[in-house]
């Protein structure tokens, strides 16, 4: 593409890249850096420049022969510094710093980009005056001009030189791409030239054939004479018939074969019709349209046939004499040409010099919407609408002169719409006629693609520039090359390789080039300009911190094409610390080279602070809920326990009623506290399921026992239906299932006056390991108003009812959340005044065997007086100690009391007890610590004392903490007598058996 002539090389570069584009890049460099810059030829000749060059250089130094000679000589100066390393910045003969970057395409250096004419330190006057005298300049005038030259830090000059190097690389890349495009154009022109040559060869063949027909000098002409009879018997045939068809002369003269026998049957009727037609018209010499003869071996031979009719004196036709010319090779060429033309993807038009269309291919018809017949009646100006008739005539003239072979046009379709085309044109002359051949390519898609590319680049630049997060476009070409080499060597674990070869990773990281950064990056890193941020890049990203990030990002890019989100501590240019979430992705189209990789950095400093505050607040809320639960349940425990003690006494009917009212109030208050805690735990995401084996009939039995008295007081009937296909042994959270049914059945009793409260359980779907149950709780109560149903499951929502006392409005909200937590669903159907039905679907795992744990209901049903036993109560609340002691004494227990963990532990060591009830929250040593200490006692009788935890917090995980500490069971305050009795029955009886 380029030769050794420098001016031609520079002319070629300007032609390939475009002078305007080079000047635009130079101007953008000047605006970005403030440095004047120039494009020089390889011998130092100034081609173009941008910015204001220093007057001392242009108007003084370069006006002298010696100064100009030295300036041009600088172009040939080596780029290596004193240490032998390449450098982009050097000092000129006048003492000023310049930048010089070669523009290289392949192995050719096409010129240089230079910049500078600045000092990095004030010049020496003595040296300046000496230099002026050496150039024969006015020393004082030279010194005065020299003092106007800018003084710039060398670091800034070198940074600008790096940008200049990038610009030179871009120009070289554009030149290379345009060269490749030109090569493609040249190749296409060669193809078109071959097509024109083929046309000329076809014309020449026709002309030669015409001459051969006229002169009968062709060596392959067969002469035949046959009679005007049926079958056309042959009287004479030239000997070369054997060469043409493989027959002997005797085959015809012996009447074995007639001429009609030779004609290919599908062509026979046409040939006969032509003979008859010319005979009727009195024409004695004519030529047939080409047709086929069948050779002796069955091969079809195309011939052109010239016939002479022989008549007798009565003008009757007696014989035909024919001259047969073998044109099979010509027909093959014509067929190839036809196929080439018909199947070409470009539209092909053949016209005369007036623009009349003589021939078109199928693509021309398809692209314009006209039929072939219609196009052959039209002229080019009816198709090409971008040019007038006069302009088309001028184009044809230019084609004939050889000064034009390609043009852009606009073709109009039959429906009136237009589309852009690129037309390749040529002309040829034959038989004193000139024809124009045009190949028109529809470039609509190309134009759209070009526009789409422009629009895409605009959108990309807009998104890149104005996205609210920091975005860095980087070039990782060298990194990709190295990784490809590793893959060829069989190394696929990139991350492990770089961790084992940190120095290699460090060197590769330094090859990464920053292509661009957006404006948001300036805000994130508190930089005033892009140049400032790029210059102080190493301050923002220290190698120690960024190298592990680089290794992880590159490994991810190599394996999946993008890097996962990573947190990175950054330091702004003002010294502020920020936390950024960094992600990387390869730009589509750059997967093979990694020349464009985007890294986004989102500032998450405030988000992380907010997250920490939320976690702290959530933890504070949990502590508050635990304390509130303890502080509320402890006095309730005292009140409820006292009332239970009173209930066991002989009281008057009215007094007993008051006691029961108090107990019910305590029960409601306890339920309210539990509901508030549950809804708070759900909102905080602290609610967790505790699955274990259980029996479904135990759950239903517990609900029946719990609510049967309440239902009977309202003359209601509780009924439960468990279908036969419903398994009884399940695995799940039976406590939460009980809580759901307690809320639904309790509400049904509350809002019903008569009839049945019915709970039905059926199987929806069952697999070998799981079952989905449909649970229906129905009542015939007051029902729910239609406008209440949408808000029914919202917290603190109550129905619009004045006839029934309502709770806090938390029950159904908790039910819904528990159902969702268990992986199920809930819906309601209700009619005001008729009743309500709740439908739940809940999944459970199946158990191969029935759950073998003893349920609380079994314990309650089996409760009986077990005689005397010794119990210790460790409880810091005085009232609770008195109440629990009294409850235990009423069932035969002898009790000791302790107000602290230390006191309780001392009593446990000194005395023998059958069971101990220990509060969790104790001053000093808490209940868990007491248990762990006791369990570590080497005396087995002391270490195995049953310990029942008592807690007023009732928070998630409390029971598990108790069991892990070594406690045997867990009861929640306020403590009910029957639960206390059940615990004694279970564990004291077990201890007695042991």
Cα–Cα distance, 970 to 927 (Å, whole number)? 12
Q: Which letter does DSSP use for residue 86 in this model?
A: B
Q: Is there a contact between 862 and 981 (Cβ–Cβ < 8 Å)?
A: no
Beta strands in 886-993 (DSSP E): 893-898, 915-919, 947-951, 969-972
pLDDT in tens, 950-965: 876 555 566 778 888 8
pLDDT in tens, 470-481: 888 899 999 999
Peptide linkage before 320 cis (omega within 30 of 0): no
pLDDT in tens, 610-643: 778 877 776 666 666 666 666 666 677 677 777 7
Cα–Cα distance, 485 to 167 (Å, whole number)? 29
Helix (H) / strand (E) element for 911: namely none
Whether residue 857 has pLDDT greater than 70: no
Average predicted confidence (pLDDT) for the chain: 80
User: What is the structure's pLDDT at 8?
Assistant: 43
In sign, the C-alpha dihedral spanning 925, 926, 932, 937 is positive
Whether residue 776 has pLDDT greater than 70: yes
Burial class of 927 by CB neighbour count within 10 A (0 to 12, 13 to 18, 19+): buried
Cα–Cα distance, 971 to 777 (Å, whole number)? 29
Quickly state the pLDDT bin for 676 (edges 50, 70, 90).
Answer: low
User: What is the structure's pLDDT at 731?
Assistant: 92
Cα–Cα distance, 349 to 552 (Å, whole number)? 60
Higher pLDDT, 366 or 972: 366
Higher pLDDT, 731 or 220: 731
- Name residues whose C-beta falls within 8 Å of residue 725's C-beta, 6 or more positions apart in sequence: 762, 763, 766
Quickly state the pLDDT bin for 795 (edges 50, 70, 90).
Answer: low
As a whole number, mean pLDDT of residues 249-278 equals: 88
User: What is the structure's pLDDT at 771?
Assistant: 93
Range list of H helices, 101-153: 125-134, 139-146
Quickly state the pLDDT bin for 16 (edges 50, 70, 90).
Answer: confident
Nearest Cα to Cα of residue 151 among 115, 123, 132, 124: 123
pLDDT in tens, 583-611: 889 888 888 999 999 888 888 888 888 77
Burial class of 665 by CB neighbour count within 10 A (0 to 12, 13 to 18, 19+): middle
Quickly state the pLDDT bin for 69 (edges 50, 70, 90).
Answer: confident
User: What is the structure's pLDDT at 461?
Assistant: 76
User: What is the structure's pLDDT at 216?
Assistant: 44
**Percentage of residues in the chain having pLDDT higher than 90:** 10
pLDDT in tens, 523-565: 888 888 888 888 887 777 776 778 888 888 888 888 888 888 7
Quickly state the pLDDT bin for 891 (edges 50, 70, 90).
Answer: confident
As a whole number, mean pLDDT of residues 142-160 equals: 86
As a whole number, mean pLDDT of residues 2-31 equals: 68
User: What is the structure's pLDDT at 211?
Assistant: 45
User: What is the structure's pLDDT at 218?
Assistant: 43
User: What is the structure's pLDDT at 415?
Assistant: 92
As a whole number, mean pLDDT of residues 821-829 equals: 89
Quickly state the pLDDT bin for 858 (edges 50, 70, 90).
Answer: very low
User: What is the structure's pLDDT at 406?
Assistant: 76
- pTM (2 decimals)? 0.37
pLDDT in tens, 486-519: 999 888 898 899 889 989 888 888 898 988 888 8
Whether residue 208 has pLDDT greater than 50: no
Range list of H helices, 402-488: 444-466, 477-488
Q: Which letter does DSSP use for residue 140 in this model?
A: H
Whether residue 772 has pLDDT greater than 90: yes
Nearest 10 degrees: CA dihedral of 160, 161, 166, 172? 140
Q: Is there a contact between 128 and 143 (Cβ–Cβ < 8 Å)?
A: yes
Quickly state the pLDDT bin for 1 (edges 50, 70, 90).
Answer: very low
Whether residue 852 has pLDDT greater than 50: no
User: What is the structure's pLDDT at 844?
Assistant: 94
Cα–Cα distance, 651 to 395 (Å, whole number)? 125
User: What is the structure's pLDDT at 293?
Assistant: 92
Whether residue 121 has pLDDT greater than 60: yes
């Amino acid at each position: 593409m380029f030769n050794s002539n420098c001016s031609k090389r520079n002319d070629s570069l300007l032609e390939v890249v475009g002078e305007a584009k080079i000047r635009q890049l130079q101007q953008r460099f000047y605006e970005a850096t403030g440095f004047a810059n120039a494009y020089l030829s390889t011998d130092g000749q100034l081609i173009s420049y941008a910015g204001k060059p220093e007057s001392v250089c242009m108007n003084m130094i370069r006006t002298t022969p010696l100064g100009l000679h030295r300036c041009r000589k600088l172009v040939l100066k080596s780029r290596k510094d004193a240490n032998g390393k390449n450098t982009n910045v050097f000092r000129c003969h006048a003492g000023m710093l310049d930048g010089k970057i070669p523009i290289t395409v392949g192995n050719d250096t096409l010129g240089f980009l230079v910049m500078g004419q600045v000092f990095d330190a004030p010049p020496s006057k003595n040296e300046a005056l000496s230099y002026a005298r050496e150039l024969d300049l006015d020393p004082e005038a030279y010194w005065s001009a020299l003092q106007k030259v800018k003084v710039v830090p060398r670091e800034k000059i070198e940074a600008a030189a790096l940008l200049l190097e990038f610009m030179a690389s871009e120009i070289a890349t554009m030149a290379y791409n345009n060269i490749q495009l030109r090569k493609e154009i040249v190749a296409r022109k060669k193809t078109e030239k071959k097509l024109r040559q083929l046309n000329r060869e076809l014309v020449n063949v026709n002309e030669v054939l015409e001459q051969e027909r006229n002169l009968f000098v062709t060596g392959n002409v067969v002469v035949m004479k046959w009679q005007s009879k049926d079958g056309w018997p042959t009287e004479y045939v030239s000997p070369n018939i054997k060469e043409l068809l493989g027959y002997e002369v005797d085959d015809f003269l012996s009447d074995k074969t007639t001429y009609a026998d030779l004609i290919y049957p599908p062509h026979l009727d046409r040939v006969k019709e032509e003979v008859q037609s010319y005979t009727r018209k009195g024409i004695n010499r004519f030529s047939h349209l080409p047709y086929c003869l069948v050779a002796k071996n069955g091969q079809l031979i195309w011939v052109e046939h010239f016939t002479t009719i022989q008549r007798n004196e009565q003008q009757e036709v007696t014989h035909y004499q024919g001259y047969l010319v073998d044109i099979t090779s010509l027909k093959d060429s014509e067929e190839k040409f036809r196929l080439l033309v018909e199947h070409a993807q470009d539209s092909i038009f053949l016209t005369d010099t007036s623009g009349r269309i003589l021939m078109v291919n199928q693509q021309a018809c398809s692209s314009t919407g006209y039929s072939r017949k219609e196009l052959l009646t039209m002229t080019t100006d009816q198709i090409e609408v971008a040019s007038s008739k006069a302009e088309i005539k001028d184009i044809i003239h230019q084609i004939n002169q050889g000064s034009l072979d390609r043009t852009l046009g606009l073709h109009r379709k039959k429906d009136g719409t237009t589309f852009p085309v690129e037309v390749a044109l040529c002309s040829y002359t034959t038989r004193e006629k000139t024809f124009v051949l045009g190949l028109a390519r529809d470039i609509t898609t190309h134009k759209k693609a070009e526009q789409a590319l422009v629009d895409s680049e605009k959108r990309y630049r807009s998104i890149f520039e104005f996205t609210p997060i920091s975005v860095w476009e980087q070039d990782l070409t060298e990194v990709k090359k190295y990784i490809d080499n590793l893959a060829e060597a069989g190394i696929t674990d990139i991350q492990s390789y770089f961790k084992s070869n940190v120095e290699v990773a460090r060197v590769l990281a330094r090859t990464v080039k920053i292509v661009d950064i957006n404006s948001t990056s300036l805000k994130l890193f508190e930089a005033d300009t892009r140049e400032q941020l790029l210059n102080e890049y190493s301050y923002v990203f220290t190698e120690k911190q960024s190298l592990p990030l680089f290794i992880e990002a590159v490994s991810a890019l190599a394996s999946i094409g993008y890097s996962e989100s990573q947190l990175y501590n950054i330091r702004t240019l003002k010294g502020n610390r920020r936390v950024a979430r960094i992600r990387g992705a390869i730009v589509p189209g750059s997967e093979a080279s990694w020349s464009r990789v985007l890294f986004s950095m989102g500032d998450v400093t405030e988000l992380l602070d907010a997250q920490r505050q939320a976690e702290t607040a959530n933890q504070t809320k949990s502590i508050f809920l635990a304390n509130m639960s303890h502080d509320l349940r402890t006095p309730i425990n005292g009140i409820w326990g006292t009332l239970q003690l009173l209930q066991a006494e002989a009281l008057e009917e009215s007094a007993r009623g008051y006691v029961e009212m108090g107990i019910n109030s305590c029960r409601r208050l306890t339920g309210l506290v539990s509901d508030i805690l549950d809804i708070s735990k759900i909102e905080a995401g602290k609610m967790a399921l505790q699955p274990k084996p259980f029996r479904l009939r135990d759950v239903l039995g517990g609900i029946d026992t719990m609510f049967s008295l309440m239902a009977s007081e309202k003359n209601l009937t509780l009924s439960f239906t468990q279908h036969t296909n419903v398994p009884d042994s399940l695995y799940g959270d039976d406590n939460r299932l009980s809580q759901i049914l307690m809320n639904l059945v309790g509400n049904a009793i509350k809002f019903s006056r008569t009839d049945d409260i019915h709970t039905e359980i059926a199987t929806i779907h069952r697999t070998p390991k799981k079952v989905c149950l449909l649970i229906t709780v129905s009542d015939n109560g007051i029902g729910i108003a239609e406008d209440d149903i949408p808000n029914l499951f919202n917290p603190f929502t109550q129905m619009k009812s004045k006839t029934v006392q309502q709770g806090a409005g938390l029950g159904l909200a908790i039910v819904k959340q528990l159902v969702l937590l268990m992986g199920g669903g809930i819906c309601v159907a209700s009619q005001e005044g008729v009743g309500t039905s709740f439908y739940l679907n809940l999944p459970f795992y199946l158990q191969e065997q029935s759950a073998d744990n003893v349920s609380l209901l079994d314990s309650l049903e089996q409760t009986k007086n077990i005689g005397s036993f010794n119990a210790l109560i460790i409880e810091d609340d005085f009232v609770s100690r008195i109440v629990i002691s009294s409850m235990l004494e009423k069932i035969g227990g002898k009790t000791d009391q302790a107000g602290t963990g230390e006191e309780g532990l001392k009593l446990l060591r000194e005395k023998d007890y059958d069971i101990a009830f220990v509060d969790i929250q104790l001053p000093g040593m808490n209940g868990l610590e007491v248990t762990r200490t006791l369990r570590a006692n080497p005396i087995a009788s002391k270490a195995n004392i049953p310990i029942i935890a008592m807690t007023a917090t009732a928070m998630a995980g409390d029971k598990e903490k108790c069991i892990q500490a070594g406690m045997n069971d867990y009861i929640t305050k306020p403590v009910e007598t029957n639960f206390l009795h059940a615990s004694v029955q279970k564990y004291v009886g077990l201890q007695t058996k042991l």
